[in-house]
Structure 1
Amino acid sequence: MSEQPPPRVRVTGPSRRPTRRTARPRRSQIDEETRLGEIYLRSLLREQLRLAGLALLVLAVGLGGLPLLFWLVPDLAATRVAGLPLAWLLIGVAAYPFLVGVGWWYVRAAERNEDDFTDLVETVDRP
C-alpha cells in the first residue's frame, strides 16, 4: 500500500489591498463636520434645550405659584406654623431644598442625555 501525500494547501496572509469602505465610528462624522454630524449634534442640543425648558417650567410653577396661591387664598397666607407665617416658611425655607432637588434632577437627566449621545456616536457604522 502506498500512501498518498496530503493535498497541498496554499497559506496566504491578509489582503494588503484597502477595502472600499472601512468601518469607522460615527464620532468622525462630528469631527469632520459633515451633514450627518450636524444632525447628531443638533439632536443632542435640542434634547438638552427641551430638558432645560422643562426644568424652568417646574421652577416657575413650583416657586412662582406660591405667591399666586397666597394671593388667591388669603386665609392660607395668614396661617402660622410654629409662630411663623406659612408663606415665610415655604418661600424662605422650603424653597431651597426644592431648588436643590430640581437641580439634582436636571444634572442627572442632562448627563443621561450625554451618555446616550456618546453611546450613539461611539458605535461603528458597518460597511
Structure 2
Amino acid sequence: MSEPGRPARVRVTGPPRRRASGVRPTASREIDADTELGAVYMSSLLGEQLRLAAGVLVALGLTVGVLPLVFHLFPHLSEVRVAGVPVPWLLLGVLVYPWLLALGWIYVRRAEANERDFIDLVDDPESP
C-alpha cells in the first residue's frame, strides 16, 4: 500500500545477518562483545595497571612508610636540627610532600602510557 514512486516500507528487526567478506573482527569489537579474546585483552591492561600501582605503593612504603621505624631505631634524630627545625619535622612536614607529588606524577604518566599502548594494540589492524 505504498504510493506510486515511493519505495515500500521495510521493517527493521535487527542488524543484518550477513557480513562483508574479508572483514575481520577487531580487538575493540572483541572487547565490546565480551568474548574470551576480549577478556584476555582487558586482563592484560588491568594486570599492567595493577603492577604499576603495586610498584608505586612499594616505593611509597619503602620510603615514607619506613620513617617511623627509623625514628624509633634512632631516637637521637629528634635532637638533630637543620636550620633550627628538627629532622623528623623536616622529613615529615616538608620533604614528604614533594616525594608524594613525584610518585603521583610518575604513576599518572605511566598509567596513561599503558593506556596509549593498549589503544595502539586494540586499534592495530594487524591484531587478531
- What TM-score, normalized to structure 2? 0.78
Q: Is the 8 A contact 2:79 2:86 kept in 1?
A: yes
Equivalent residue, structure 2, for 1:26: 27
| Structure 1 residue 75: Cα displacement | 2.4
- Other-structure match for 1:44: 45
Give 3-state SS (helix, strand or coil) of 2:112's partner: helix
Q: How does 1:7-86 map to 2 (within 5 A)?
A: 18-19=20-21, 21-86=22-87
Offset at residue 113 of structure 1 (A): 0.6
Structure exhibiting the larger radius of gyration computed from Cα positions: 1
Identity in percent:
49
- Larger RCO (CA under 8 A, 6+ residues apart): 1
Match of 1:39, SS state, is helix
Which amino acid in 2 is paired with 1:98?
W
Give the distance between the partners of 2:65 and 2:79, measured in 1 at CA: 19
Letter in structure 1 aligned against 2:106: W
Spell out structure 1 runs of 4+ moving beyond 3 A: none
Partner residue, 2:93: 92
Which consecutive unaligned segments of at least 5 residues does structure 1 have?
Answer: 1-17
Q: Which runs of 5+ in 2 are unaligned?
A: 1-19
Partner residue in 2 for 1:4: none
The normalised TM-score by structure 1 is: 0.79
Letter in 1 for 2:105: W
